[in-house]
Amino acid sequence: MAKKENYDELAKKIIGLVGGEENISNVTHCATRLRFNLKDESKADTDAIKGTPGVLGVASANGQYQVIIGPEVTQVYEKLTAKLGDMGAPASPAEEKKGSVVSRLIDTITGIFTPILPPLTAAGMLKAVLAVLVAFKLVSSDSSTYQVVNFMADATFYFLPILLANSAAKKLGCNPYLAMMLGGILIHPNFVSMVSASQESGVAITIFGLPIYNATYSSSVIPILLGVLLMSKVEPVATRISPKAIRFFTAPLITMFVVGIATLCVLGPIGYIISNILASAINGLSTIAPWLAPTIIGALLPFLVMTGTHHALTPIGINNRMTIGFDTIIYPGQLASNIAQGAAALAVSFKTKNTELKELTSSTGITAVCGITEPVLYGVTMKIRTNMIAAMAGGGVGGFFMGLVNTKNYSGGSPGLLTLPSYIGLDAPMSNFYFACAGAAIAFVVGFAVSYILYKDPEKENS
C-alpha cells in the first residue's frame, strides 16, 4: 500500500507510466481501481506499473485500462486529478467506439453505476443498522428515531433516478443538470399524485393528446437510463439547430420538451415494463432453481472481478431490490465468494513461514472478508493457484447453500461480514439473517480448509 505522504508521488508515476497526460482522455475510480480511458494503450508500460510500490496490479478490459490500488484509491485519485485537471469529461465518440459491443456496454454500465456506489452503500448500511436496532428492541418501529433514520436511508433509493441521471449523463456525454431535471420530472410529487388519481378514476393522463402510462418511477433504474440515452442524442441536435444568438435558451428548451415527453409517454413505460419482466424472470429462476445463480456467481466471481465485468451484475441486484424488495441472485453469491477468498488467504497466513507473505495474506484476507477483494485477488489469489481453487470451492458451496434456502438481501452494500445486517428485513423473519450468517460461515470454512490443505510453501517444495 502507498504511504500517505507518497500518494502524490504515486499519482505522478502512474501518469507518466500510462503514457503521460496527453495519452489520458478520461479517468474515474471505483472502490479499488483507477479506471483510465487511454488514447493509445500501447504507450502504457504495464510491467513498470505492476512493479510500482502501491500498485496491486493492472487489468485491461471493456475499453478501460485499470490500475488496481486497493482501499487507498480515493487518495491517489485526488492527487492524480489535481495534476491532470478536469478529466471527468467523457471520451470522444471515436474513443468510445473502441472494443466490441459487449465491452463498450460493460464500460458504460461500469461508468454509470460505479459513481453511485457510495450513496447506495451508505443507504444500505443505514437500513442494516436500523434493522439491527429494531431486532434487538433498541428502537421501536413507531418512534420518531425510526422514522428519521428510515427516511434518511430511503432518500438514496427514492431519488435514485436523479443520481443515475447525473452519472449516466457524464458517461453518455450530455448535460448532467438537464439529466437530473429529467430524473426530477419522473419522481415529482405532482406527477405521482396525478398517477394515483388516474388509477382511482380511470381517466388517463395525457399531454397534447398523447397518453402517459400510469407508473411511478421513484427507486427505478431502467426508465431514467433510457431517457438519458435519448437525451444524449437529442441535445446535440437541439444545439445544432438553435440559432447562435438564442442557443442558450432554445437548446435546453428543445431538449427537455422532446426528451421529457418521450420519456413520460414511451421510454419510461418501456423501462418500467422491462424492470418488472426482469424481476419476474429472476423470481421465476429463484423458484425453479434457487441455488443455481448464487452457486455460479459464488464460484466464478474472482474471474469477473479480474476483468471488471462484475459491475454488470450491480444493476441486476439493485433492480431486484427496487422492484420486489430483495435480491436472492447477486448479493448472496458475491457474499460467499468474498468470504471464501478472504478465508483462503487467511489460511495461507496461518500456514506459511514466509514473514512477508504472512503479512500480505493476513491484511488482504481481512479486507476481503469485509467486502473488498481486489487487494487479495491481485496480491494473493492470482499468484497462488491453490487459493483460486479454494476461493471457487468456498464461494460455490456457500452460494449453493444460500440459494437453496432462498436467502434474501434487503439493502445491498459491499458483500462481506460488515454488511451481514443487510440480510435483516424490517418485516422479515430473523431466520433469513441466520441463513446468511450460515452461508458466510460455510464459505469461510470450505475456503479456509481447502486452502490450508492444498497450500505448500515454496521453501518446503524445494527442500
pLDDT (mean) for 249-259: 95
- Residue 72: pLDDT band (50, 70, 90) is confident
**Which residue(s) pair with 24 in the sheet?**
38
Report CA dihedral (419, 420, 426, 432) to the nearest 10 degrees.
150
What confidence score (pLDDT) does residue 111 get? 79
pLDDT digits (tens, 9 = 90+) for 418-455: 889 889 877 778 899 999 999 999 999 999 999 999 99
Q: For 4-92, which CATH class? A: alpha beta
Residue 207 in 3-state DSSP?
strand
The angle subtended at Cα 315 by Cα 367 and Cα 125, nearest 5°, is 45
Residue type, position 398, single letter: G
Whether 114 has a pLDDT exceeding 80, the answer reads no
Contact 223, 264 (CB under 8 A): no
What confidence score (pLDDT) does residue 93 get? 46
- Residue 459: pLDDT band (50, 70, 90) is low
What confidence score (pLDDT) does residue 195 get? 93
Which residue has cell 443538470? 177
What confidence score (pLDDT) does residue 463 get? 38
Contact 399, 294 (CB under 8 A): yes
Domain ranges of the chain: 4-92, 159-286, 289-462
Cell, residue 323: 422492484
Q: Nearest CA to 120 among 384, 311, 306, 357?
A: 311
Whether 288 has a pLDDT exceeding 60, the answer reads yes
Q: How far is CA 69 from CA 11, 13, 360, 383, in A?
A: 11, 13, 14, 17
Kindly report the pTM of this predicted structure: 0.73
On average, the pLDDT of the chain sits at 86
Name 69's Cβ contacts closer than 8 Å, sequence gap at least 6.
Answer: 2, 32, 33, 34, 54, 55, 56, 76
pLDDT digits (tens, 9 = 90+) for 380-392: 898 899 999 999 9
pLDDT digits (tens, 9 = 90+) for 171-228: 898 999 999 999 999 999 999 999 999 999 989 999 999 999 988 898 888 999 999 9
Q: How far is CA 221 from CA 314, 316, 333, 414, in A?
A: 11, 10, 22, 19
Q: How far is CA 433 from CA 135, 137, 423, 429, in A?
A: 11, 16, 5, 8
pLDDT digits (tens, 9 = 90+) for 342-379: 999 999 999 999 888 898 899 889 989 988 888 888 88
Cell, residue 174: 450530455
